[in-house]
Structure formats: structure tokens, C-alpha cells
Homo-oligomer: A and B are copies of this chain.
């Protein structure tokens, strides 16, 4: 089954006259086949189908959608090595990483299937009628959450499986009951085609309505803009650069009917090395830090881009050990030529702004290879030039030397919103950690103690989100089961006869789902 380079407009495939090709970043060479680029006609067709699919798709019982998600996972697994090989060629990510990423992708599809069956996402609330109440009777009022409508999902370059065509955003939106129109990332169209096949096959096998899924590809930004502007699209899920995210937010806000954009954009993920932790294990902290910084060529949203510590002996040991460890890091091919170019620019910017180079990874001058880099500044310098704290996507990090706790606190207060904030601490650091916590809570979506921010668990308690610009909407997460809530909205049914109520709000079915009765929490009872 060779790749065809076609677009997926619902069940149909479509070719266009305009084409682009994926580039193997390790060789700078174009990969076959050419891929059709979607234009206005394809956006129109995909959105029309998604709109038509919305009512029938959302009307399906949760179990039906759960089976669909599980079938997608199964079909992805059945594609075996062919998917991983293409993905490796397009991203230069190591095969073992891609195998792990596939496992995560399949795992999160299954997790959302389980979440669908739990019924927690329904948010059921029932306030029964009080016909005798004075001065006025209360009508029967019941609430559930319904999906918001078709969602535009943007594939991310750095997770060609876990945050692309059937990634976390797609799983959450499909679970919620929203048809999706995916804008595939142009860096990995072949991977996208493989995964699209799995979704289309799963939709057929589980009898999903036509239009529940479409895949549009294109090499430039006009496609994404057109998709977000389409009136039938009701929400947007995006992971990528700050510039691209801001552009989509602007398009969405300028629509006659503005819609929500869930963009995960920019984060430097501060790590704070507290004094006792540094005193006890500066060298091993440095090892772990460099490993987190350079993992996957530093191309994680949660890469530790800023490290803060109080000046002193411990910090000097850490700096020396980190510089030494960094010197042993081999260069790694980045995802795309553009990302590599931006990385080089970021390094130059840090130098230009006066950050001091502490250490570098090995370099080999090979195509699109990133040389890891560690810079250092004083807190005073960073406070004077906040632009130093901007994200450099890739294996670059900035160590901030603070004269005292007050300066540390000031730097933290000056940071923008973050996906994560990490404390490296010992028992003796507890009071200082406690004092910093309110600031960190205000700044980040996930707070970590004695671990490193890379590595995002897909589970119920995860938050992969945070105040702007980490995301466009800090009330949400793009990883974990809570991500489904982005695509739901509450609807209240007042005075409805039993037969007209949605099934899960009827007296017969309600006890099977978790709900609140007059505000009181009730557990689901097995059927």
C-alpha cells in the first residue's frame, strides 16, 4: 500500500493540481510521493461534511464513539513498521522514540474510550421540580454537556503521532462528539496519510457517519487560516509556535462568530534549583538536567529552557558539571530545516542579548543538526532584558544566577505563563519551596518536584496547559482526560417530558451515570 499523496475528504480521496513534498531533514532530500495541497474547495467540502456529520455523530451512544476510538488505535497498530519508518524518514526522530510515541497515541485513544464510558464528561445535573415551592414552583431542570461542533485540529511537527492526525486533540474532540477536520503538518504528510487511513478504516468498521474525519494538507499558512475562518468550524486545537498560534487566535476572534482557540504555544518551563538540593547533589542534578534538555533534540514543549538558582558553591558545581555533560552530547537532527534555522537564530539572539555561553554540545556541521547550548546570565541582567526569557525551541537553556531569594522571586514573577515549573529540592528547602509556590501556581499549569518537565503522563490528573502564552486558554489542558472539556458546553433542559429528554437524563438511564442530584453527588450504578 504505497502512499498516494491524496487528501481525505470524509471517505473520499481527492487530488489537486498543487503539490508539495516532505523533506527528510537528515539529508535535506525530498521524499516521494508528491502530496496534493488543499485549497478553498477542499476546505469547503471537508467543512460541509463535518457539519453534516455533527448531529448524527453526537447522537451516538458514548459506547459507539468509544468503539470508534479503540478501532483507530487497533488500525494504527496493525500498520506496523511501515508507519514508523515513514515517520522516521520525515522527522528524523529515532525509531525507539517513535515506537514509544505510537504506544502513547494508542494509549490515549483508549484512555478517551474509557473516559467516554465513565460518563464523567457528561456533567449531568438534575434539579427536580418543586411544584409546591413558594412563592413560585420550581420546574424540572436537567443539565448535560454536548459537543461544540466540528473542530479544526492542527497537527504538530514535534509529535508526528501523539499530537498529529490521531493525536491527543483529535482523540479528545472525537470523544466529545465533534467531527474533526485535521490540517496535517506539512513536515510529515506521509505519516499523516498512514494515520488517516487508520481513522477512515476505523470509521467504516464502526459505522461512523460520513464526514466525521477529513485530512487537509498544504505547505503554507493560507490553508489553516481558511479552515479557522470557516463558519462551520466551532473550535480550534493547535500545538506549535507562538507566532502561528497568535495568528490563528486573531483569525478566530475576527470571525463574525468568534470561536475558541486552544493553542499550546510557548513555554520555557522554569526549573528552580533550591540551595539544599544543590548542596547535596549538584553534579547529579546537572546530569539529569542535560539529559532532559537534550532529549529528542530538545524539541519538547516542556523542555527546561530556564534554570534558576541562588549563587554559591552549589551552583558553581552545577554549572561546571552541566557544561561538562553538555560537551558529551552528540548533535541531533532537528525536525525541519525551518526549526533548525530558528534554533540557530535563537542561539544568536541569546548571545546578542548578552547571555554568556557556559557550554556546548558536540557539533558536526551536518544537515539540520542542533548543537546543544547552555547560557548563563545574572538575574539582574534578565530583569533588565526580559526578552532573554523567550523560548528558543530546541536544546538551548538559560541559567539564571540569583543574588538572593528576593531576586529569584522577582524573576519568577516576571516570567510569562508556563506549561510547567519545577522545584529541585531537599527536605531543608521546604520553607523556601512553600514560599515560592503561590507564584509558581499563578504562572504554570503543572508543578513538579524533583523530576524534570519533559515526559508528560497521559492520565486523569495531568495538566498540559497554563496561562498565556503557554496556551491561549489557561482553563484547559491538551493532555489527559480533562482535555475533552475543551469541546463541550452545557445545555439545560427545562420541563422536558421524559421521552424528549436525551437518554442519559431520563429517569431510566440517569442512575447509570455519575451525576449531581439537587447538587448532591451520586455515583454511577452498574446497569
A494 close to B (CB within 8 Å): yes
A441 contacts chain B at the CB level, 8 A cutoff: yes
Known A127-B459, A461-B492, A490-B477; judge A438-B59 contact (CB<8 A): yes
A516 is contacted by which of B127, B460, B476 (Cβ under 8 Å)? B460
Interface-lining segment among A118-126, A166-174, A279-287, A365-373: A118-126
Interface centre among A146, A259, A449, A489 (most CB of B within 10 A): A489
Q: Is A491 an interface residue (CB 8 A)?
A: yes
A328 on the B face (CB < 8 A): no
The answer to whether A461 touches B127, judged by C-beta atoms less than 8 angstroms apart, is yes
Contact with B along A232-249 (1 / 0, CB 8 A): 000000000000000001
Least distance between A504 CB and chain B CB atoms (Å): 13
CB < 8 Å neighbour of A253 from B253, B448, B477: B253
Per-residue contact bits, chain A 450-475, to B (CB 8 Å; 1 contact, 0 not): 11000101011111010111001111
User: Which of B135, B492, B497 touches A446 (beta carbons < 8 Å)?
Assistant: B492
List B contacts of A524 (CB < 8 A). 521
CB distance from A140 to the nearest CB of B (A): 9
Contact across chains for A474 and B141 when beta carbons are under 8 A apart: no
Residues of B within 8 A of A461 (CB): 125-127, 141-143, 492
Give the residues in chain B near A450, CB-CB below 8 Å. 495
Residues from chain B with a CB closer than 8 A to the CB of A67 are none
The answer, among B139, B148, B447, B497, for a CB contact under 8 Å with A475, is B148
- Which of these, B141, B441, B448, B476, contacts A495 with CB under 8 Å? B448
From residue A317, how far is it (CB to closest CB) to chain B in Å? 24
- Interface contact A430-B491, CB-CB below 8 Å: no
Across-interface contacts of A467 in B (CB, < 8 A): 257, 489
Interface residues of A in 62-113 (CB under 8 A from B): 100
Asked if A14 CB lies within 8 Å of chain B CBs, one says no
CB distance from A34 to the nearest CB of B (A): 38
Is A445 an interface position by the 8 A CB rule? yes
Q: By DSSP majority rule, is chain A's interface helix, strand, loop, or mixed?
A: mixed
Minimum Cβ distance to chain B for residue A456 (Å):
10
On chain A, the number of residues with a Cβ less than 8 Å from chain B's Cβ atoms is 84
Judge whether B500 and A430 touch: CB under 8 Å: yes
Interface status of A523 (Cβ within 8 A of chain B): yes
A495 contacts across to B, CB distance below 8 A: 448-451
Which residue of chain B has the shortest Cβ distance to A447 in the bound complex? Answer: B493
Report if A433 contacts B (CB, 8 A). Answer: yes
Q: A491 touching B416 by the CB < 8 A rule?
A: no
Indicate whether A264 reaches chain B with its CB closer than 8 angstroms. Answer: no
B54, B475, B514: which contacts A489 (Cβ < 8 A)?
Answer: B475
Q: Does A355 contact B (CB under 8 A)?
A: no
Which chain B residues border A434 with CB–CB below 8 Å? 500
Q: Is A55 an interface residue (CB 8 A)?
A: yes
A481 contacts B by Cβ under 8 Å: yes
Residue A260 is within 8 A (CB to CB) of chain B in the complex: yes
Interface: A347 (CB within 8 A): no
In the assembled complex, which residues on chain B have CB atoms less than 8 Å from the CB atom of A3? Answer: none
For residue A114, which residue of chain B has the nearest CB?
B519
Query: Does A138 lie within 8 Å of B494, measured CB to CB?
Result: no
CA distance A201 to B473 in the complex (A): 35
Cβ of A518 within 8 Å of any chain B Cβ, yes or no, is yes
Having A138-B457, A258-B468, A430-B500, one finds 4 other A-B pairs with CB under 8 Å, namely A141-B459, A446-B494, A451-B495, A475-B489
Kindly list the 9 A-B residue pairs having the minimum CB-CB distance in the complex, ordered from nearest. Answer: A463-B492, A143-B461, A141-B461, A446-B492, A125-B461, A55-B438, A127-B459, A448-B494, A127-B461
Give me 20 A-to-B residue pairs in the complex whose CB atoms sit less than 8 angstroms apart, sorted by A's number. A55-B438, A100-B135, A115-B519, A118-B519, A125-B482, A127-B460, A139-B451, A141-B457, A146-B441, A257-B417, A257-B467, A257-B468, A446-B491, A446-B493, A447-B493, A451-B494, A451-B495, A460-B516, A475-B485, A521-B523
